[in-house]
Structure 1
Amino acid sequence: MIVIAALVVGSLLGWRRAAKLGGDRRDKAQYAAAFALGFAILALFATVLLDRSF
């Protein structure tokens, strides 16, 4: 569940970041994908750590 939320939040933040930098639709999509993957990987590690700690 954390990973899915991180994907959504990451993509929204990436889209917003590219829009602030003045990117076109393809730039926004690339930023959204990169941020989503990065956030998902971090969330996956957080999920594993939380699962192992309890």
Structure 2
Amino acid sequence: MIYPLSGLLIGAAIGAWRARANGGKGLDMLQWGAGFGIALGLIGLFVLIFIERSLR
């Protein structure tokens, strides 16, 4: 359960940082944070599924 949540939070932080580094305003940071958060959250979900299936 912790991998998707961690991916979501880390992705949101990376996305907001990238938007700010490119000169984005608040809404840009929200959009980039959401995009990166969703992407890394999905990667975390697949990691969780892989780990759960390999333990059985």
TM bin (shorter chain): over 0.9
RMSD: 0.5
The one-letter amino acid paired with 1:12 is A
Q: For residue 9 of structure 1, what is the aligned residue in structure 2?
A: 10
Quick check: 1:51 aligned with 2:47?
A: no
Q: For residue 23 of structure 1, what is the aligned residue in structure 2?
A: 24
Q: Structure 1 length normalisation: TM-score?
A: 0.96
How high is the sequence identity, in percent, across the aligned residues? 28
Q: Structure 2 length normalisation: TM-score?
A: 0.93
- Give the aligned length: 54
**1:39 and 1:21 mapped to 2: Cα distance?**
20
**1:51 and 1:44 mapped to 2: Cα distance?**
11
Give the drift of 1:26. Answer: 0.5
| Matched position secondary structure for 2:48 | helix
Q: Which runs of 4+ in 1 moved over 6 A?
A: none
